[in-house]
A = this chain, B = another copy of it.
C-alpha cells in the first residue's frame, strides 16, 4: 500500500487533459506498437467512460475483476486489452484509477489538442458545437464553414462561421487536424477531396455516405445514424417475432 502510494505520487500532479511536450515521446511510443486489433480499439472509449465515473466517485483503485463486473465483461478481456498498451496495473493491487484513466486519455488522444472545423453550420453542425462533446475530449473547434450567406459571419457558441471558399486558406493558417462533415451527401465528394488534398489528419463523417477515394494518410471515422436506426428496427422486429412465438 505504501509502495503504491509512491506509485500514485508519480502521477499526482499530472494534468489529465494537458500534455507537455516531454511526455509526447512516451505517448508516441504507446501508440507506435500499434498492431492493436479493431475490436480492442472500439472498447477503449468504454473504459474511458467507466474510469472517468470511478474517478468522479473518488475511487483510488480498482481490480480487473471489479471493473469487469461493473462493465459486464470478463476480467480477462480487460487485462488483455490494457496490456496491448503496457502494464498499467500492479500485481496484488490492481489498477490505480487516476493513473489508468490518464493513460487511457493519452491513448485516445484526449487532450492531444487536436483542432477541428465543422463543415456546414446546419442544425446538425450547430448541435454538435452545443453538445460540448468536443470540449470534453479536449478537441478544439476552431471554425464552422458554410456556403449559406445567411450563416456566414455569424457566431455559434463562440465559434465563427466562415465561407467555405476560404477553407484552404484557413486550414493552412490554423493547423486544422480534423474536419467534421455534416453537409449534404451531394457535396461530400468535392469537400472530401479538398480536405484530403489539404492533408487533414482526420475526417469525422456524418453524411451517411462513404468516402470513395484514395485517402492518403487521412483517417475517416463514419457516423452512420441511418445504419444504427435500422439495427434498432431489426432488433425490435426480432424481439416482436420472439414475443409472437411465445404467445402461440
Contact = CB atoms under 8 A, between A and B. Distances in A.
A65 interface: no
Interface residues of A, number: 64
A60 interface: no
B133 A236 contact: no
Interface string A37-59: 00001101110110000000000
A124 interface: yes
B45 A241 contact: no
A184 to B, nearest CB: 10
A228 to B, nearest CB: 6
Contacts of A136: 226
A233 interface: yes
A45 B232 CA distance: 11
A92 to B, nearest CB: 30
A173 to B, nearest CB: 20
A75 to B, nearest CB: 19
Contact of A236 (B114, B123, B134, B241): B114
Q: How many monomers of this protein are in the complex?
A: 2
A108 interface: yes
B226 A178 contact: no
Interface stretch (A1-9, A28-36, A142-150, A160-168): A28-36
A91 interface: no
A237 B45 contact: no
Contacts of A210: 49
B235 A137 contact: no
A112 interface: yes
Contact of A109 (B124, B236, B244): B236
A228 B221 contact: yes
A245 B32 contact: yes
A234 B240 CA distance: 38
Given A137-B230, A230-B48, A241-B28, A124 B131 contact: yes
Contacts of A213: none
B131 A225 contact: yes
A63 interface: no
Contact of A45 (B31, B201, B226, B235): B226
7 contacts: A49-B210, A127-B127, A136-B226, A204-B228, A219-B232, A221-B229, A221-B235
